[in-house]
Amino acid sequence: MLLKKCRQANSRKNLFKDRLNAAEKFTEEYLIGKNSEKMTAAASLFMRLQIRETSKLSRGRRFTMDEKMLSLSLYKRSPKCYRMLSKLFTLPSKRTLNSILSTVVISTGICPSIMSVLKENVKNLKPSEKFCSILFDEVCLSSGLSYDSVTDQIDGFVDTGSNLSQNIADHALVFMVRGIKKKFKQPIAYPFCKGATTQHELIRQLKQVIQCVSQCGLKIVATISDQGSANVGAIKILNQETRSYCIKNDLPYDDQFYEIELENNERLKLVHIYDVPHLIKCIQNNLITKNLVFTIDNDVKCAKWSHLVRLIYTMKIMLFLTAKCCHVFLTNILSQTKF
C-alpha cells in the first residue's frame, strides 16, 4: 500500500515537472515571438540563437543553416571582427564555417550556380539599377597541381570551363560584373590559362560572358580592361567585325563602339574603356622618355615631364605658403593682436 502511494506521488511529481517545463518553454517562445515582431529577420534569428545555445556546452551546440549563413556573412565581411564577436556571443566556429564553404563547388569558366543566383537577384532591381559594366583582367599564378577531395579532381591544369588540357596553368583570366548606378560587383568567370590569353580566345570568352550576363536581365553598356596587348588587339578585332557588319548591312558605323550578337539575334552596342589608373601610368611612362606634341587652336604645343615636375614643386611651395599664412592668421586671432 505504501509502495503504491509512493509510485503515485512520483508520477504526480513527474507530471508536474513536465507541465512546468512545458510552461517555461511556452513562455520563452511567447516572449521571443513577441519581441521578434519588433526586429528585423536577421536580428530575430541572432536573438533566438543566443537564447537557445548560450547555456549549452561548446561541443553540444547545434546551428541551423540560416544561422550558419548569417555567421558566414559576418565572417566574410571581417574575420578579425568575427573573432571578437565570437568572444562576446555564441557563434559557429571558423571550422564550421569553412566546412560549409568546402561544399560549395564553383567550376571554372562561367559558373552556372553564380549565374542562377545573379539572375534571381536581378529580378529585385529597378530598371535604372540594371545598368552594369564587364571588367576583365589577368592575374599571375604559381604553377602547380593539387588534389581537391570535394570534386575528386586534380586542379592546376589549363581549363576554360569548356576545354581541359594537360598543360599546367600559370595565369587566370577573371571576368567581373559591376553596377553603374547601384554599387554591386560579382566575379562570374575565371578560366585558367598558360601564359597570356590570345586575342581570339579572349574574344570568344568575352562574347560568351556578355551573352550569359545579358540573359540574366542586366544591361551591359561597357567593358573595362587594362592596356595589355591582347586586350587592345581583341577590341580592335571586335571593332573591325562591327565595321564589316555595318558596311555589309548599310548601317551607320561609329568606331567608338563595338557590337556583340546575342542569342536572340539582337546586337548589343558596347563601348570599351581602358581603366584610368593604367592610363595615368602609361602617360607617366611615356612622358619620362618622350615629349607630347599636340595642337590647340592651330597652335602647336609641347608637353614635357619637366613641366609636371615644375608644377609639383610649385604646388608644394604654394601649400607651404598657404599653411604658413593660415598659421600666422590664427596665431594673431588667438592673441587678439591687430595686424
Residues 262 and 137 in one domain: yes
- pLDDT above 90 covers what percent of the chain? 12
Residues 80 and 173 in one domain: no
**Whole-number pLDDT of residue 175:** 92
CA dist list (Å): 238 to 165, 219, 235, 256: 27, 19, 5, 11
Residue 35 lies in a domain: no
List, for residues 296-332, the tens digit of each pLDDT value: 888 888 888 888 788 888 877 777 667 666 655 546 5
Confidence grade of residue 210 (pLDDT, cut at 50, 70, 90): very high
Task: Provide the residue range defining the domain that includes 323.
Answer: 291-334
Residues 87 and 209 in one domain: no
CA distance 208 to 134: 12
Residues 88 and 180 in one domain: no
Stretch 85-95: mean pLDDT, rounded? Answer: 88
List, for residues 45-54, the tens digit of each pLDDT value: 787 888 778 8
- 253 vs 35, more confident: 253
Domain count, the chain: 3
Residue 295 lies in a domain: yes
Residue 17 lies in a domain: no
228 has pLDDT over 80: yes
CA distance 156 to 148: 10
Instruction: Return the biggest CA–CA distance within the chain.
Output: 123
149 has pLDDT over 50: yes
- Please say which residue of 283, 302, 321 terminates a domain: 283
CA dist list (Å): 138 to 17, 74, 77, 207, 327: 67, 29, 25, 17, 49
Assigned C-alpha cell, 187: 566575379
Residue 36 lies in a domain: no
Residues 322 and 306 in one domain: yes
Confidence grade of residue 220 (pLDDT, cut at 50, 70, 90): very high
Residue 296 lies in a domain: yes
Q: Which amino acid is at 235?
A: I
Residue 276 lies in a domain: yes
Residues 187 and 216 in one domain: yes
Residues 173 and 191 in one domain: yes
**Whole-number pLDDT of residue 37:** 67
Residues 82 and 114 in one domain: no
Q: Which amino acid is at 246?
A: C
265 has pLDDT over 90: no
Residues 273 and 300 in one domain: no
Secondary structure, 3-state, 190-243? CCEECCCCCHHHHHHHHHHHHHHHHHCCCEEEEEEECCCHHHHHHHHHHHHHHH
Residues 220 and 97 in one domain: no
CA distance 20 to 15: 9
Residue 195 lies in a domain: yes
User: pTM above the 0.75 mark?
Assistant: no
Residues 156 and 236 in one domain: yes
- 198 vs 16, more confident: 198
**Alpha helices by DSSP H, the chain:** 2-36, 41-53, 65-77, 79-88, 94-102, 112-122, 199-215, 229-248, 276-289, 305-335
Residue 9 lies in a domain: no
Residues 135 and 241 in one domain: yes
211, 116 Cβ separation under 8 angstroms? no
Q: Which amino acid is at 98?
A: N
